[in-house]
Amino acid sequence: MPPPDVEATPDCSALQTLRPPGAIADERVAVEMPVALTVNEVSQAVMLATPADLEDFALGFALSEGWITSRRELLDVDVLPQPGGVELALRVTAAREQHLKTRRRLLAGRTGCGLCGLESLAQVGAVQPTPVQAPLLAEGALDRAMAGLHAAQVLNARCGGLHGAAWCLPSGELLIAREDIGRHNALDKLTGALARREADPRDGFVLMSSRASYELVHKTAMAGAGLLACMSAPSSLAIEMAGRVGLQLWAFVREGRATRYA
């Protein structure tokens, strides 16, 4: 079992110190910047993210979007500062490069729908996770995990505005946490951290500080975890997606309560 890893980043690159107009003291704010992801020198996506744990983000995003199917298909990641942002230059195997080229040809000429990684409504659900199975939770596990998440969000405690994603054991013990200004980015970072440690997502569950969206359910299932618990409300599409892949979905996990939706 990997050791606890709740520190999001060892430095303060994810935070910026500013003095708002009229203020008498400096304030810390979360950094949000464009992060471009390229695969074998071909542009694939540009996200707005917090520049912490970027190697985890690159690996997790590639896995959740179906660019690769395992950590070993990602050969290298270079973090390249660029004017106004940062580039994550991924190098993948020749087989996965060919897969991406085929996918781009299939998507060519279609209009965008705004769903991360896809370019038309016809492509929603094109990359489907395999069915998952939820672990058996111990009594009080969700409460213990949520208490641990508050303590693990070290960046959010300094400035606010950052979402947290955590991987927890069925007992409620929190082992790994990642933070980002975007909830889906935080989950991608967590997925990448799990993959780099070769931890089995089926051995625990994912906990989020946000609402439960379709995207979070999809990414959780793509990672192989069978249970997602969120602090806030679910959407109808999230519940539908969870039921379709067999994922156990909990929401409104707070203050000693939780509601199971799927």
* CA proximity to 118, closest of 129, 130, 104, 131: 104
87 DSSP β-pair partners: 36, 80
What's at 218, amino acid-wise? H
Question: Do 231 and 206 form a contact (C-beta atoms < 8 A)?
Answer: no
Question: Do 234 and 187 form a contact (C-beta atoms < 8 A)?
Answer: no
* CA proximity to 259, closest of 232, 221, 220: 232
* CA proximity to 249, closest of 232, 233, 227: 227
* CA proximity to 208, closest of 134, 147, 146: 146
Residue written as token pair 């980002």:
180
Distance separating alpha carbons of residues 138 and 16, to the nearest angstrom: 40
Exposure letters 133-149 (e unless 16+ CB within 10 A, then b): ebbebeeebbbbbbebb
| Catalytic residue selected from 12, 113, 116, 159 | 113
The SS3 call for residue 65 is: coil
What's at 211, amino acid-wise? R
Active site residue 12: no
Catalytic residues, by residue number, are: 113
